[in-house]
Structure 1
Amino acid sequence: MNSSSLSSCASSTEFERLSSWHLVICQTSYLIAILITFISTYSAIEMVWCKSIFQKSTKFLILLNLFYANLHQVSYGIEACQLLHKHYFMLDSPCRVLQYDLNCAPYFQFLIAEVSGMFLCQTGLVIERACATFYKNFEKTTSTTVTVLISLLVVVISSCTGRLLLWDDPLTGYSFSCVSFPKPSINRAYGFYIVCSLVTFFNLVTTILIMRYNKKLEYATRFKVGARFRKREAIESTETVCFLALSQFVLMFFYCGA
């Protein structure tokens, strides 16, 4: 057996990981979380689009964030199902359970684009809420322009992130699954997760500050109906963005440990 075929076989450590019940519990938990995400997304869409007083620009960015989140869950769910299939039906074939990095690259890049899209959307929401708070003439035309620019930046930057992370990786190795960083690029994984964590923390802190600022100004405009309505809209939308930022901040630690 040549070295190439040997490298495509699972090592004893990888085989133990695949055959462990820890893997089954983790992947099953992911699938349950995915189901919860789908159910929660339906409720969130109904609440945000139909029952809220949010500006359309805020609604669109929240929906874009939910789109990336659900797309990521679908992609991750496919890999979770494949890992469970390997656990139950492929333990007798250790040379068939690993996946070639070159074949995984498009899927991995797509997955990273989804993750980046979620965090960039969150940052975009913070920027949009900051504009709505501090820019007095943030009306329909201005908000639409800001939203379009933010959305374009999110799509472009997120679509390039995966390619940048793998730009000089030879992609000649084998990985446990396509959601894993190739071994030559593993150091970039740490950098990527650190950046995502810092961005999430920044979003959370900034959103809290914006929310406190709006609440403070609400009392100053309590006798002005129009101004108070706008501040109430800003407060409620910022609270929603804050909740999303907090959720991402917590989930980021689980993602880093996955």
Structure 2
Amino acid sequence: MTSNSSTCASQVQVDHLTSTNYRLSATLALIAVLLTFILSITAVTYMSKKSIFQSATRRILIFNILFANLHQVMYAIFSKDMLFKGIYKVDEPCDWLVSERDCVPYTVLLYTGITGMILSQTGVLIERAYATFHPQNSSRIRSNLAVLLIIVVLPLSIYSYPVILLNDPLDGFILTCFIPAAHSAHRANMFLFICLVVTILNFVASVALKWYNKKLEYSYRFILDKRFKQRQAIESTLVICDVTLSQFITSLIYSLGVFILRMYIGIIPLSTFYSLVVWVYTVPYTACLLPLILLIRMASMKMKRKRKIQDTITPSNKFEEHFSGLKKLWDGNKEFEE
């Protein structure tokens, strides 16, 4: 088969897609993709029927879940194609590469999912911070804020990859649509750096917000009116913070790990780059953690509320034992005096 060498996969690329390392990483990531679909349906159904979240928070969370699933769909399509080539088209490396121009619409969707997940996390933290520091404002104002945040996040997410491709001739061929166009490498690195900065800011904001809400929860424990009025707001904020904190590690590995690998791509062997990048591309796991942690925390909050109600209705055994001990001590003192 005769073909221009620029459209044929190199031996390093062939070795990469046929390696156990790639197949294992792709299989694990695809399992995370499948779990994301199942958990997302469960989480959205749970939030729609009965949820600790206020409507504004719920809207942004569902929006975030949509971004996560968009990424997972595109990841599954690309991974399936690469696994197929590595198993069934090993002897046809000149059919492996795809043009950068043909990849654009698919890569736009992939980057929309990545950017949307990160910015939606920022958006929901902003909404929770507003609810924390302005609890007296009506739910309508918070709903309007949620809509505004969604309106801002959506175009920023959609245009993230088109901005990376500005003035790119798109005249090259790449192994998969995961990979940004070659002439846009610098802007792709800048995108990763921005993701890294936003990820760290989200982490710092979630830690600060969780600390402040824990402090509020403690200060309200003896003020019954405020305690019950603010309970839902505090609980939902703590859940959001826990989701952000749980996603921090995987988001950091992706943004920092891929950024470092791309910065040193001219120094390290290409085979090493391919072997490592499949493991530091942790976005599928970040997407999976979103509905998973939401479900775990919503279930734990539900159990916590049930225990509180039960404790209110039924006196605890410890209280009864303590009261009985005091009574015996009192009776013993009376006998001694007599």
TM over 0.5: yes
Give the Cα–Cα distance (whole angstroms) in 2 for the partners of residues 98 and 170 of structure 1. 17
Q: Quickly say closer, same or farther: Cα 1:230–1:78, change in 2 above 3 A.
A: farther
Q: Determine if the alignment matches structure 1 residue 110 to structure 2 residue 112.
A: no
Report which stretch shifted further, 153-162 or 193-202: 193-202
Give the Cα–Cα distance (whole angstroms) in 2 for the partners of residues 50 and 225 of structure 1. 28
1:21-36 equivalences in 2 (<5 Å): 21-36=20-35
Q: Determine if the alignment matches structure 1 residue 91 to structure 2 residue 117.
A: no
Question: Is contact 2:203-2:244 (8 Å) kept?
Answer: yes
1:165-180 equivalences in 2 (<5 Å): 165-180=164-179
Q: Determine if the alignment matches structure 1 residue 212 to structure 2 residue 211.
A: yes
Report which stretch shifted further, 161-170 or 232-241: 232-241
Question: Is contact 1:217-1:231 (8 Å) kept?
Answer: no
Question: Is contact 1:19-1:87 (8 Å) kept?
Answer: yes
Question: Is contact 1:113-1:159 (8 Å) kept?
Answer: yes
Structure with greater Cα Rg: 2
Report which stretch shifted further, 97-106 or 201-210: 201-210
Deviation at 1:240, TM superposition (A): 2.0
Identity level (%)? 38
Question: Is contact 2:99-2:174 (8 Å) kept?
Answer: yes
Report which stretch shifted further, 92-101 or 184-193: 184-193
Give the Cα–Cα distance (whole angstroms) in 2 for the partners of residues 23 and 238 of structure 1. 39
Q: Determine helix, strand or coil for the equivalent of 2:52.
A: coil
Unaligned runs of 5+ in 1: none
Deviation at 1:162, TM superposition (A): 1.0
TM-score under structure 2 length normalisation: 0.71
Report which stretch shifted further, 112-121 or 179-188: 179-188
Tell me the equivalent position of 2:11.
12
* AA matched with 1:167: L
Q: Quickly say closer, same or farther: Cα 1:99–1:116, change in 2 above 3 A.
A: same
* AA matched with 1:179: F
Deviation at 1:60, TM superposition (A): 0.9
Tell me the equivalent position of 1:133.
132
- Tell me the matched-pair count: 257
* AA matched with 1:178: C
Question: Is contact 2:206-2:245 (8 Å) kept?
Answer: no
Tell me the equivalent position of 1:79.
78
TM-score under structure 1 length normalisation: 0.92
Give the Cα–Cα distance (whole angstroms) in 2 for the partners of residues 215 and 248 of structure 1. 20
CA RMSD of aligned residues (A): 1.9
Q: Quickly say closer, same or farther: Cα 1:246–1:154, change in 2 above 3 A.
A: same
* AA matched with 2:64: N
1:1-258 equivalences in 2 (<5 Å): 5-255=4-254, 256=258, 257-258=280-281
Give the Cα–Cα distance (whole angstroms) in 1 for the partners of residues 90 and 238 of structure 2. 48
Question: Is contact 2:209-2:241 (8 Å) kept?
Answer: no
Give the Cα–Cα distance (whole angstroms) in 1 for the partners of residues 85 and 225 of structure 2. 60
Deviation at 1:56, TM superposition (A): 0.5
Deviation at 1:173, TM superposition (A): 0.7
Post-superposition Cα deviations, 1:202-249, rounded to whole Å, max 9, x if no partner, equal 112211211211221223333444422343222221222122212332
Deviation at 1:253, TM superposition (A): 4.1
Deviation at 1:186, TM superposition (A): 2.2
Unaligned runs of 5+ in 2: 259-279, 282-338
Post-superposition Cα deviations, 1:103-123, rounded to whole Å, max 9, x if no partner, equal 001111111111111111000
* AA matched with 2:117: M
Q: Determine helix, strand or coil for the equivalent of 2:159.
A: helix
Report which stretch shifted further, 226-235 or 34-43: 226-235
Deviation at 1:158, TM superposition (A): 0.7
Q: Determine helix, strand or coil for the equivalent of 2:178.
A: coil
Give the Cα–Cα distance (whole angstroms) in 2 for the partners of residues 209 and 47 of structure 1. 28
